[in-house]
Structure 1
């Protein structure tokens, strides 16, 4: 069975690694100077080497003149890049001119409704949630963070809760869209955006009992291939819930349902890796425990489909987004190892480090060379995914 070490029933905030030096601009602090050995088997040392190179790429080659790391989706990629840097170098980076310029770019996208997005954007939830992750990290690293960021973050929180699909959008709890979040236009909600919403609300201090998070949990449960046990409402109560039953997750139950991995002949929506880890993380933030059948089923899918060679069900598509959700979910779940079918035990942190070491480019970036679907040809975005994944690989 899978080894589970949940850190109690509460979820920890995202871990950060603090550099002792105060640097502007950042002078990267190597692992040797922190008293760590250079032994190849020392994961933290190896992570530091990759992180130094990845951050230096973003700082020296990744930023545009206006402070954005990528303007293709408004504030979203910039928010993720800033968050990625601050997770590793909070005290040093928050005062670095490069990061400060990006923070000003994010603040320039604040809209009258409290959202943080490009005017006319179709990605309002994605942009705002990503910006919240960056601004919370900046607040926590700043001496005057409360004064700078509290009002912005309060308004962003209200905006995110307002655009969640619920009675305000004319949908009831019986509707398959209920509780979800989409990109922020009037398109249907999906699990990826809902997981960003839940994480942003969690980072803003909302606990598992928060009404918006519990609404979102209802949507998340409907993206899982798990029919409710007889006599209960635990699990996916849509027509798709019982068609596959492998415990994994798909993209959305709304508007008839869709999986990016396609359908089975019986109409079942195929589970895939990145959404399963996003679903697991979201359920834990929503307060589900390791004994909950939904968590058990998700862990069962992970056990049977453990891989770092591919995004299970999708191959190379969305591979680096997968690494990002993989690391976050397993860390938030408190899992140290994964015991897969056949009894083999995997140290997921070591597997992730080995994989990302092998795929880092000479310039310090990462990029998906096999598939550019979902913007994975964008080095800034993919580098942010990898840096955030590595933050969760540190012990």
Structure 2
């Protein structure tokens, strides 16, 4: 997958921190042995073939009422090396264009997930935008997304726990999952780390971390204080991993990787206490057997966010809290190979968040695998 449009200063400032837990500069062969590279190609091809064969006659996947799944599948195919000119991808892109609304958003007309669907669609169009044909579509969608962000336009001040965040769309309360998609979509549209919208989003992201600091003075910050991230501090606070007896919001894996990745996008450096605490949480909970704190729920979303975060951090070998070095790319390939079905698809036995849908789970798996070529 193409490198994110981050400035060099934001990336280079991570090197000292990463040296404590990462081994870099090794030959590609040692980071991803030839046998594992062959396995990667094999399971990618099988996953791509499954998605090509499962496309509906109208160019979508699953159903027309959830274009976010189709946009995610389209992005996964493009990032797996399928060109925009491929008949399946071209048909999908043409169909997604039909969801472009007059307000610039890209969503199903009756949808309550307008932020999510627009963000994912921007990623699909960006991945296909080699000749600039989607420039105006992306820019109009970017403007739409900025209007959805919770800020002064919604009549709230920066002290409000919803400030800077993004929800599914409409008047839904903001959460870290949708906010990370917002940040990435803005980045794809060309926004830099110092963009006001991304800096506002950073305020929200910081408040989803279990870390008491000047960046997070919410009542949840000190109750767990483990450096991990949870779903949202807004509207009374929610963690999909549940609460502690005293009302603390439990940290979990997918949101912690999402939070750390979002901070990188926003230019937060390795000396920042938020980054250090998040990195330590990940070191203590490194695994590919589950979504830490959630068991098997959201597992494929976790794989995707795990891979994207470590790739964005320029991590090749990751050292866990016990001192064990992990070739995370090789381990991720091995784990996904073991979970792939005979027809090339992936799916989650846990139905929550639609992951039992093989189109969605396979899209997440292929996106995770797209980060498994050793960083150059």
Question: Is the TM value for this pair above 0.5?
Answer: yes
TM alignment of 1:1-395, pairs within 5 A: 9-10=9-10, 41-60=34-53, 62-71=54-63, 74-90=66-82, 93-140=83-130, 145-146=131-132, 148-228=133-213, 233=214, 235-369=215-349, 371-395=350-374
How far off is 1:346 after superposition? 1.2
RMSD between aligned alpha carbons?
1.8
Q: TM-score, structure 2 length as denominator?
A: 0.90
Contact 2:148–2:170 under 8 Å retained in 1: no
- Measure the CA separation in 2 of the matches of 1:64 and 1:175: 44
3-state SS of 1:197 partner: helix
- Measure the CA separation in 2 of the matches of 1:302 and 1:72: 37
State the aligned residue count. 351
Q: What do the CA deviations read for 1:19-61 (whole angstroms, capped 9, x no partner)? A: xxxxxxxxxxxxxxxxx9xx9753332211111111110101x
- Closer, same or farther: CA 324–239 of 1 in aligned 2, 3 Å: same
Contact 1:11–1:285 under 8 Å retained in 2: no
How far off is 1:344 after superposition? 1.4
- Closer, same or farther: CA 69–10 of 1 in aligned 2, 3 Å: farther
Unmatched tracts of structure 2, length 5 or more? 1-5, 13-28
- Closer, same or farther: CA 87–10 of 1 in aligned 2, 3 Å: farther
The runs of 4+ residues in structure 1 deviating greater than 6 Å are: none
- Closer, same or farther: CA 208–314 of 1 in aligned 2, 3 Å: same
3-state SS of 2:174 partner: coil
Q: What do the CA deviations read for 1:119-158 (whole angstroms, capped 9, x no partner)? A: 0100001100000000001002xxxx32x21111110000
3-state SS of 1:338 partner: strand
- Measure the CA separation in 2 of the matches of 1:333 and 1:73: 35
Contact 1:250–1:275 under 8 Å retained in 2: yes
How far off is 1:76 after superposition? 0.5
- Measure the CA separation in 2 of the matches of 1:73 and 1:181: 21
- Measure the CA separation in 2 of the matches of 1:100 and 1:154: 21
- Measure the CA separation in 2 of the matches of 1:94 and 1:81: 13
- Closer, same or farther: CA 161–7 of 1 in aligned 2, 3 Å: closer
**Which residue of 1 is the match for residue 3 of structure 2?**
none
- Measure the CA separation in 2 of the matches of 1:150 and 1:193: 23
3-state SS of 2:322 partner: coil
- Measure the CA separation in 2 of the matches of 1:391 and 1:47: 9
- Measure the CA separation in 2 of the matches of 1:78 and 1:290: 36
Q: TM-score, structure 1 length as denominator?
A: 0.86
- Measure the CA separation in 2 of the matches of 1:65 and 1:83: 19
3-state SS of 1:280 partner: helix
Contact 1:356–1:386 under 8 Å retained in 2: yes
Contact 2:7–2:192 under 8 Å retained in 1: no
Contact 1:73–1:123 under 8 Å retained in 2: no
How far off is 1:73 after superposition? 5.2
How far off is 1:72 after superposition? 6.4
